[in-house]
Amino acid sequence: MCADILSSSARSALMGRIRGKHTKPELTVRRVLHRLGHRFRLHVGSLPGRPDIVLSKRKKIIQVHGCFWHRHTCRFTYSPKSRTAFWERKFADNVRRDAVHLRKLRELGWSVLIVWECQTVSEGKLVRRLSKFIGPKQAT
């Protein structure tokens, strides 16, 4: 086990600055959606889990997940070396909560797309994936 190089108050302050909303991957997805001509709502509190992006008319939701926090199987996902029991429990709780929210949203008739942080690196691939999920822009 490796000792943390930061004091517990410094570590707490650092962790407290990690955002849950308006993250760089989420802003990337929102920018692409705007460029494709789609309008949406953000963090709708009346839906389970306060989804990141909601396209109400199409009954579609896009969740933008950080690979580390939501345990994607990519190079961004690693496990801290200290306080392993805490982190394992934290990650398991996140994954379990994600599954519950996903099930509830689908039961309510929503289609849900999970976009992982690592999938926002290539905008070309992201554009194709979002376009396929949402479908062509509807005339208003």
Please check whether residue 130 lies inside any domain of the structure. yes
* Cβ-based neighbour number of residue 109 at 10 Å: 7
Query: CATH number for the domain including 88?
Result: 3.40.960.10
Please check whether residue 57 lies inside any domain of the structure. yes
**What is the per-residue pLDDT across 78-91, written as a single tens digit (0 to 9) for each?**
888 888 899 899 99
Please check whether residue 93 lies inside any domain of the structure. yes
Please check whether residue 10 lies inside any domain of the structure. no
How sure is the predictor about 114, in pLDDT bands with cuts at 50, 70 and 90?
very high
**What is the per-residue pLDDT across 30-52, written as a single tens digit (0 to 9) for each?**
999 999 999 999 999 999 999 99
0.95 surpassed by pTM: no
Please check whether residue 115 lies inside any domain of the structure. yes
Domain count within the chain: 1
Please check whether residue 29 lies inside any domain of the structure. yes
Q: What is the pLDDT of residue 19?
A: 62
C-alpha–C-alpha distance, residues 92 and 76, integer Å: 17
User: For residue 83, what are the domain limits?
Assistant: 19-134
C-alpha–C-alpha distance, residues 116 and 67, integer Å: 6
Q: Looking only at Cα atoms, what is the longest distance across the chain?
A: 59
Please check whether residue 9 lies inside any domain of the structure. no
Q: Choose among 59, 99, 60, 95: nearest CA to 77.
A: 95
